[in-house]
């Protein structure tokens, strides 16, 4: 067990009201940066204005919970997990979400105090690595205007094949019929051209519907930022940037026969090769909103997720949020899936270590909280070549219980051009680890699905019916740990 916490790496200067509170980087980090960038100039961005953001969130929450017509924060659970390893199909409606939508539509003075779009139990599910499913979440007028919009855009040729990777399209013979297609906008780029293309391009399709939806998603993102305690998920001081560059927002289109192989939506920077540390943001929370009226189970096309079982989640209570801890992304699980394992590449040694969080009880002069338990034998350099395997670096006593989440076997998209041959989509469909639960979600109009982008493997089963499967899908970004600019 060794020391913990961000303060060993960053010192925070300035007071809490200062929107531009600065973070100073101490000597440790520079060692690491030099390791990553031996030659040329460097620039580091650290997020700031956390205090202002959180204070503002607190204000909104206080105001809305003191209102008579605000929805009860203890509404009944609408989260559904399959309880065994056999799969279940989710199609249950939710009264609590209907409630939220109803209040939304006859509320007349909601300008400064928007009503919650998700409830605390959804936040808890995402933190635990589960799948938050909110049936009837999207108002029906948006379901129909967005579906028509997607159809118009499809007919005028604005969608592109987008399978596992572009290389995969070629090397695995993906075709328009067999592979999913995407209308892309926002996120992932900069400059005017990028930000006015796609989702925000006023000259194509129904821009009014797309903007209304984008605003709704923006509110959702604010709520997630506060609830998950991920301050850079929503940066108030960069309104425009939030919408355009920090949010990938797309339509997805599956012709009959199309499917998408098993994958994760995001990976630790260190595992993405030299480019990993150059991206200013990373995918944080994945969202999916389905647009298909009365979808039937026998039409195929279910979103298949592989969360840990409820029992695994309960093993260690809420010891650690999945996905990321103090900016370090998760790379696996130990103790039968009870504990997420994070990779810290900013050790004083300039090398990396694997760790889990353990709960420490209050002692004299010390508050209860969490501490890092280092799981690697000694600090190590992450191998630069795929496949990267972490097990050899682990203490013998935890090695056997370790499961890695980013592997070429489990995520062919991630494997890219690596030597190990990715599984075909067919075999992926039947491949799932013994410990995980299979959770199928029907792509029924109005349903919102949310999960952590780093830790939840998923796929889309083949569309076996006669009609297309249409969805809006996307990723909210948060800041990367730092950005290396060359
Ligand atoms: O369309 C879906 O339901 C999921 C799509 C997906 O997993 C992705 O685009 O990464
Ligand atoms: Fe995905």
At 175, the pLDDT band (50, 70, 90 cuts) reads low
Q: Does the structure show a pLDDT above 50 at 75?
A: no
- From the alpha carbon of 458, which atom of ligand 1 is closest? 7
Of 218-222, 332-336, 420-424, the least confident: 420-424
Query: Ligand 1 centroid to 459 CA: how many Å?
Result: 7
Residues 299 and 255: their CA atoms lie apart, in Å, by 12
Mind listing the pLDDT tens digit for each residue in 204-219?
999 999 999 999 999 9
pLDDT in tens, 330-350: 999 998 888 999 999 999 999
99 token code pair: 């409630």
Give the per-residue pLDDT at 174. 55
Confidence of residue 362 (pLDDT cuts 50, 70, 90): confident
Q: Give the torsion sign (CA, 315, 318, 320, 324).
A: positive
Q: Which residue has the higher pLDDT, 442 or 184?
A: 442
Task: Delineate the domains of the chain, giving CATH numbers in brackets.
Answer: 78-311+410-479 (2.60.120.620)
Q: What does the longest C-alpha to C-alpha distance in the chain come to?
A: 68
* CA 457 to centroid of ligand 2, rounded, Å: 8
What pLDDT is attached to residue 412? 55
What does the pLDDT average to over 453-458? 95
* Cα–ligand 2 centroid distance for 465 (angstroms): 21
Q: For ligand 1, which residues put their CB under 6 angstroms from it?
A: 252, 260, 265, 288, 303, 458, 460, 471, 473
Of 370 and 185, more confident: 370
Summary mean pLDDT of the chain: 72
**Is 121's pLDDT higher than 60?**
yes
Residues 448, 443: Cα–Cα separation, whole Å = 9
Provide the pLDDT for residue 244: 66
First to last CA, the chain: 36
Of 169 and 259, more confident: 259
Q: How many residues does the chain have?
A: 486
Q: What is the pLDDT of residue 31?
A: 29
Contact 307, 129 (CB under 8 A): yes
Give the integer Cα–Cα distance in Å for 196 and 190. Answer: 10
User: Residue 107: pLDDT above 70?
Assistant: no
pLDDT in tens, 270-311: 888 777 888 888 999 999 999 999 999 999 999 999 998 888
Q: Residue 164 burial by CB count (10 A; 0-12/13-18/19+): exposed, middle or buried?
A: buried
What pLDDT band is residue 472 in, cutting at 50, 70 and 90? very high
- For residue 303, which atom of ligand 1 is closest to its CA? 3
pLDDT tops 50 at residue 230: yes
For the ranges 6-15, 63-72, 298-307, 383-392, the lowest mean pLDDT is seen at 6-15
Decide if pLDDT at 146 tops 60: yes
Question: Residue whose CA is closest, atom 3 of ligand 1?
Answer: 303
335 CA to centre of ligand 2 in angstroms: 26
Assess whether pLDDT exceeds 80 at residue 28.
no
Q: Locate the ligand 1 atom nearest the alpha carbon of residue 290 and give its number.
A: 3
Mean per-residue pLDDT, 308-328: 85
Query: When comparing pLDDT for 311 and 425, which is higher?
Result: 311
Is residue 171 predicted with pLDDT exceeding 60?
no
Residue 188 pLDDT exceeds 50: no
The Å distance, Cα 97 to ligand 1 centre, comes to 23
- The percent of residues in the chain predicted with pLDDT above 70, rounded, is 62
| pTM for the full predicted model | 0.75
Higher pLDDT, 100 or 293: 293
The better pLDDT of the pair 143, 84 is held by 143
Spacing of C-alpha 172 from chain mean position: 26
User: Which of 62-76, 183-197, 406-420, 452-466 is least confident?
Assistant: 62-76
Q: Percentage of residues in the chain with pLDDT exceeding 90? A: 44
Q: How confident is the model at residue 361 (pLDDT cuts 50, 70, 90)?
A: confident
pLDDT at 179: 83
99 phi and psi angles, rounded to 5 deg: -55, -50
- 285-319 burial, b for 16+ CB within 10 Å, e for fewer? bbbbbbbbeebeeebbbbbbbbbbbeebbeebeee
- Output 420 or 386, whichever has higher pLDDT: 386
Alpha-carbon distance of 162 to 480, in angstroms, equals 25
């Amino acid at each position: 067990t060794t020391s913990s916490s961000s303060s060993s790496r960053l010192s925070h200067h300035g007071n809490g009201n200062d929107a531009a509170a600065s973070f100073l980087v101490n000597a440790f980090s520079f060692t690491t940066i030099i390791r990553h960038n031996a030659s040329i100039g460097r620039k580091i961005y650290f997020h700031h204005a956390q205090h202002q953001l959180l204070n503002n969130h607190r204000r909104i929450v206080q105001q809305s919970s003191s209102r008579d017509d605000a929805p009860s924060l203890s509404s009944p659970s609408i989260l559904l997990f399959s309880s065994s390893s056999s799969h279940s199909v989710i199609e249950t409606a939710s009264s609590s979400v209907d409630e939220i939508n109803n209040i939304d539509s006859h509320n007349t003075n909601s300008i400064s105090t928007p009503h919650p779009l998700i409830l605390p139990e959804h936040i808890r599910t995402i933190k635990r690595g589960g799948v938050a499913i909110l049936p009837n979440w999207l108002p029906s007028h948006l379901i129909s205007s967005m579906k028509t919009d997607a159809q118009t855009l499809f007919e005028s040729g604005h969608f592109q094949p987008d399978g596992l990777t572009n290389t995969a399209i070629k090397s695995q013979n993906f075709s328009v019929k067999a592979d999913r297609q995407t209308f892309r906008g926002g996120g992932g780029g900069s400059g005017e051209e990028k930000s006015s293309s796609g989702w925000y391009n006023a000259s194509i399709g129904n821009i009014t519907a797309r903007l209304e939806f984008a605003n709704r998603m923006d509110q959702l993102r604010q709520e997630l930022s506060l609830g998950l305690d991920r301050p850079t998920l929503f940066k108030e001081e960069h309104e425009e940037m939030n919408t355009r560059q920090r949010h990938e927002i797309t339509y997805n289109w599956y012709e009959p026969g199309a499917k998408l192989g098993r994958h994760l939506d995001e990976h630790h920077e260190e595992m993405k090769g030299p480019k990993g540390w150059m991206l200013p943001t990373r995918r944080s929370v994945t969202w999916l909103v389905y647009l298909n009226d009365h979808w039937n189970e026998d039409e195929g096309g279910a979103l298949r997720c592989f969360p840990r079982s409820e029992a695994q989640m309960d093993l260690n209570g809420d010891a650690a949020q999945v996905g990321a801890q103090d900016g370090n992304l998760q790379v696996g699980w130990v103790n039968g899936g009870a504990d997420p394992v994070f990779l810290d590449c900013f050790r004083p040694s300039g090398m990396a270590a694997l760790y889990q969080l353990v709960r420490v009880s209050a002692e004299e002069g010390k508050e209860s909280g969490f501490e890092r338990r280092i799981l690697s034998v000694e600090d190590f350099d992450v191998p630069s070549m795929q496949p990267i395997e972490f097990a050899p670096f682990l203490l013998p006593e935890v090695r056997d219980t370790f499961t890695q989440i980013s592997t070429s076997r489990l995520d062919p998209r991630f494997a890219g051009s690596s030597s190990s041959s990715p599984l075909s989509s067919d075999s992926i469909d039947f491949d799932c680890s013994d410990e995980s639960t299979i959770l199928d979600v029907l792509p029924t109009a109005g349903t919102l699905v949310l999960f952590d982008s780093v830790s939840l493997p998923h796929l889309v089963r083949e569309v076996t019916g006669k009609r297309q499967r249409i969805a809006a899908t996307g990723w909210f970004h948060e800041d990367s740990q730092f950005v290396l600019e060359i």
